[in-house]
């Protein structure tokens, strides 16, 4: 990660979302730099998922701005661009990894088709090239190539999650949103997925925003943390600063509540 002559990939200011009288997230602001992984932590209902939804264009915020720096180096306002432009951006530059792989996969088509689909959406038409890319990515997420024609339904939860990751990364996005990526998995499967994510993020120089309630996950994956409570960011900093020297009473409570095996 170099620090000179760079612009933030994402500039978020005053992001707010109300649900009627209830606050989803309130006045959230941060910069995300290229190659940086930002962890968003807090308990259920703290606004983590609302924030992720607003950032990735799945929810319309009540107020605020989200600026994204494109591959060409120009800055676009994600919240004010046309639906078609936003969809194109989502297809080329963004990935979304859902907690439940069923929300991110197409369960009615094969594993290979799941990975190939995003490539086809970008206009790749050569069947051999698509299949080759699919096989390559199945390998990268440690799924046997001979499962390429199998339906995701026949995969374990951990494999489905790895398939979802392959489906997202095949188009080389620059920013990946992850919502509790290890959420529904057994601990042994979690370790494998985490190691895989860590390696892929580092090798591809990806930027990512990872929402999780699991502080151990952030220790491994995130460079920086935002701690959210009741929709607001109560503390932020380098991951090891926030976990080892938490300042806010809520962060101290979160950190001290983790069971040490």
Partner 1 sequence: MTAIAPAIAVEDLGKTFTLHTQGGLQLSVLRGVRLAVEPGECVALADPSGSGKSTLLRCIYGNYRPQAGRILVRDGERTVDVVGAEPRAILELRRRTLGYVSQFLRVIPRVPALDVVAEPLRALGASRAEAMAQAATMLERLRIPERLWRLSPVTFSGGEQQRVNVARGLAAGHPILLLDEPTASLDADSRARVVELIVEARHRGAALLGTFHDAEVRDAVSTRVATLHEAAA
Q: Which residues contact 120 (CB under 8 A, 6 or more apart)?
A: 130
Q: Which of 64, 223, 229, 231 binds partner 1 (CB under 8 A)?
A: 223
Q: Which of 13, 33, 81, 213 binds partner 1 (CB under 8 A)?
A: 33
Helix (H) or strand (E) run with residue 167 in it: helix 157-169
For residue 219, give Cα distances in angstroms to 165, 187, 196, 261.
Answer: 20, 16, 15, 16
Q: Which of 88, 91, 192, 230 binds partner 1 (CB under 8 A)?
A: 192
Contact between 156 and partner 1 by CB under 8 A: the answer reads no
Contact 76, 67 (CB under 8 A): yes
Neighbouring-strand partners of residue 232? 229
Cβ closest to partner 1, residue 50 vs residue 161:
161
Contact between 241 and partner 1 by CB under 8 A: the answer reads yes
d(C-alpha 101, C-alpha 61), whole Å: 25
Cβ closest to partner 1, residue 154 vs residue 199:
199
Q: Which of 62, 220, 232, 234 binds partner 1 (CB under 8 A)?
A: 220
Q: Which of 36, 93, 117, 180 binds partner 1 (CB under 8 A)?
A: 36
Cβ closest to partner 1, residue 100 vs residue 241:
241
Contact 78, 58 (CB under 8 A): no
Neighbouring-strand partners of residue 28? 15
Look at residues 1, 38, 72 and name the one whose alpha carbon lies nearest to residue 225: 38
Contact between 240 and partner 1 by CB under 8 A: the answer reads yes
Sign of the alpha-carbon dihedral angle for 85, 119, 54, 102: positive
d(C-alpha 104, C-alpha 211), whole Å: 16
Scanning 53-61, 88-96, 154-162, 234-242 for contacts with partner 1 by CB under 8 A, the matching segment is: 234-242
Contact between 260 and partner 1 by CB under 8 A: the answer reads no
Q: Which of 224, 228, 231, 233 binds partner 1 (CB under 8 A)?
A: 224
d(C-alpha 38, C-alpha 179), whole Å: 12
Contact between 186 and partner 1 by CB under 8 A: the answer reads no
In the complex, what is the shortest distance from the CB of residue 188 to partner 1, in angstroms, rounded to a whole number? 9
Q: What residues make contact with partner 1 under the rule CB under 8 A?
A: 1-3, 33, 36, 191-192, 194-195, 198, 219-220, 223-224, 237-238, 240-241, 244-245, 247-249, 252-253, 256
């Amino acid at each position: 990660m170099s620090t000179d002559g760079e612009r933030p990939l994402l500039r978020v200011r005053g992001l707010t979302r109300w649900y009627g009288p209830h606050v989803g997230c309130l006045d959230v602001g941060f910069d995300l730099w290229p190659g940086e992984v930002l962890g968003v932590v807090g308990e259920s209902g703290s606004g983590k998922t609302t924030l992720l939804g607003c950032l990735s264009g799945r929810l319309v915020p009540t107020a605020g701005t989200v600026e994204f720096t494109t591959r060409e180096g120009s800055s676009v306002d994600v919240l004010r661009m046309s639906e078609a432009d936003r969809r194109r951006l989502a297809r080329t530059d963004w990935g979304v990894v859902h907690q439940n792989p069923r929300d991110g996969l197409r369960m009615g088509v094969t594993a290979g088709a799941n990975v190939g689909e995003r490539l086809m959406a970008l206009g790749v038409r050569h069947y051999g090239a698509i299949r080759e890319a699919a096989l390559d990515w199945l390998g990268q997420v440690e799924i046997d190539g001979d499962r390429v024609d199998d339906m995701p339904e026949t995969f374990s939860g951990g494999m489905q999650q790895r398939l979802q990751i392959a489906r997202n990364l095949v188009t080389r996005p620059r920013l990946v949103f992850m919502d509790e990526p290890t959420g529904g998995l057994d601990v042994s499967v979690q370790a494998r997925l985490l190691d895989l994510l860590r390696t892929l993020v580092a090798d591809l120089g990806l930027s990512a925003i990872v929402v999780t309630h699991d502080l151990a996950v952030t220790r491994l994956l995130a460079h920086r943390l935002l701690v959210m409570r009741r929709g607001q960011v109560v503390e932020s900093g380098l991951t090891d600063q926030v976990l080892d020297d938490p300042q806010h009473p809520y962060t101290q409570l979160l950190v001290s509540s983790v069971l040490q095996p």
